[in-house]
Amino acid sequence: MGCCSCFGFSRKPRRVFRPVSRWIDYPSREPLLDEDFEDEGDPSCNDEGTDTAQEEDNELRSRAKCSEDILHYREHNGLICRQFPVKETNNLMRFEDEDGNKMVNEYVRERKIGSGSYGKVALYRSQADGKHYAIKAFHKSHLLRLRVAPSETAMTDVLREVLIMKMLEHPNIVNLVEVINDPETDHFYMVLEYVDGKWANGGSCLPGGMDENTARKYLRDIVSGLMYLHSHNVVHGDIKPDNLLVTSSGTVKIGDFSVSQVFEDDNDELRRSPGTPVFTAPECCLVSDSTGPTYHGKAADTWAVGVTLFCMVSGNYPFLGETLQDTYDKIVNNPLILPDNINPDLRNLLEGLLCKDPEKRWTLEAVSKHVWVIGEDGSIPRYLCWCRRNSLERTELNGTDEAKDTDKTSTDQIS
């Protein structure tokens, strides 16, 4: 159960917060719901830089390098959780078919279906297998010019997203099928499985919310996919309804790994918090020392799951101000307010997920065993991922070999 002080039942001094450096105080509330806007000339961010900026730059460079090193090590040593590797294509052909439809290699463009963090997403049909795919298209020159941190460009994020998705395979995660990167062109494509549905109304919140049974089903899928990510030391960094696609059969798949990070072990400490403001955890808004705030990525992901669940059942955000700073102030200082007539089990779950103290916030493991989450469907099934399956097979094989050696020793002793 969540701690009482997390929900404003005891008096405590208001805590100072600071907006994450990637955002400024916007007059409109719209950017609070979207991470995809740029810093408009903060005078503290100049070419010369301050000592603090240089320290943050070093930290960001170190973390980015760490993630890339880990991912490259896993890739080169076959430490991936996929039965079949992602197809990598270095030759690009762009032309039109006889009907005037644009084509990218074997894929025929049908229509635009959205925009990702740094590029457009369109629906394509493969002439090879007849299936539909969602293709994210980028211009490498644009990615290299777009700076997302002092030492990182959007290209860093996209390449890290590709490396992460090449490691993963899970029924509740959007699958990366192919990467098309011709060194002779400026074009870069990610071919993804096409999820034929999207979050209802295509927005981050639903007017009036949804029924509890649907919200429960969606949450179970989200938790299953996110537990898989965390078990593979991946922090998503931007869990929200817009990044959760729903298939026609009602299965939720987590997408958009453009701000995700990977870790070598359980040390998931981060400083850069590039997710969406209204889904940002309290610890990501607080003032820290001169090197910037630190927080644990997995706990921040879990908070975002809580905000998403709140959105699903209420159609509103738990903490949303008129400006960015006002929103962060409410996230840090305001108590969680829930309707009086809410299901007591659901209330208990939301209080555990939206506990402002990350040390007392519920873990996804605890959430997966919660009575409201279990409902009538039982515990969330544990997906036996490919790398875990291989590990178990090797263990069984070693056990068989050891048994044979034991039997042989026993036979030799008898003879």
Reduced to 3 states (helix: H, G, I; strand: E, B; else coil), residue 86 is coil
Evaluate whether 286 touches 293 at the Cβ level (below 8 Å). yes
d(CA 136, CA 114): 9
For residues 6 and 336, the answer to whether their CB atoms sit within 8 Å is yes
Cα 336–chain centre separation: 24
C-alpha distances in Å from residue 20, one per residue of 17, 190, 198, 205, 262: 9, 29, 29, 23, 21
Rounded to whole angstroms, the Cα distance separating 275 from 398 reads 44
Is the Cβ–Cβ distance between 349 and 376 less than 8 Å? no
Instruction: List active site positions.
Output: 238
- Name residue 192's beta-bridge partners: 134, 176
Residue 5 DSSP code: G
The span from the first CA to the last CA of the chain, in angstroms, equals 63
